Amino acid sequence: MTQEITITNAKYQLDFTGEVFAVNCTWNGQPCTLVPMDLNNSHWEIMKERIDAGKLTVADADPLVTEEE
């Protein structure tokens, strides 16, 4: 029997250059710090399939805060 995977609270994360590199989410009710956007990562593969199928929406990343602000 395969457990249904639930993904909630998905939000893109930026690296220090301002590029999106990962998704922060809750995975099966457990906080998941980061899921790298790498097809060699099984978590990202599942998320990407759902995003592409319109079954998962990922919120935009928070903007980077710089010293000038």
Number of domains present in the structure of the chain: 1
Range of the domain at 11: 7-52
- Report if residue 27 sits inside a domain: yes
Q: Is the pLDDT assigned to residue 2 strictly greater than 70?
A: no
Domain membership flag for residue 66: no
pTM of the model: 0.85
The 10s digit of each residue's pLDDT in 7-49 is 999 999 999 999 999 999 999 999 987 999 999 999 999 999 9
Classify the C-alpha dihedral 34-16-37-42 as positive or negative: negative
- CA torsion sign for 22, 24, 29, 30 is positive
